[in-house]
Amino acid sequence: LVNRPEFTPEARRADPQLLLRGYERAALTLNFVRALVDGGFADLHHPEYWDLGFVKHAP
C-alpha cells in the first residue's frame, strides 16, 4: 500500500498518499459488505430467498 508495484527506484519510494488511498478503499469495501449483510443479501438462514436464476444462463 505504501509503494507502487513497479520495480523502479522511483516507484519503490514510500508515498503516504497511497497508504491513505488504500485505507479509504478498504473502508469503502467493508461498508459495502456490511450493507449487503445488513440488507439480507447474504442471509445464510434463508437460502430459499436467494435468486440464483442467473446461474442457468451462465456459460
Could you report the per-residue pLDDT of 4-31, keeping only the tens digit for each? 888 888 888 888 998 999 999 999 999 9
Give Cβ neighbours of residue 16 (< 8 Å, ≥ 6 apart): 2
Give Cβ neighbours of residue 22 (< 8 Å, ≥ 6 apart): 1
Dihedral (C-alpha) 12, 17, 18, 20: value to the nearest 10 degrees?
Answer: 140
49 pLDDT higher than 80: no
CA atoms within 13 A on the CB side of 52: 6
Give 59's pLDDT tier (boundaries 50, 70, 90). Answer: confident
Separation CA 15–CA 46 (nearest Å): 46
What's the predicted TM-score (pTM) here? 0.59
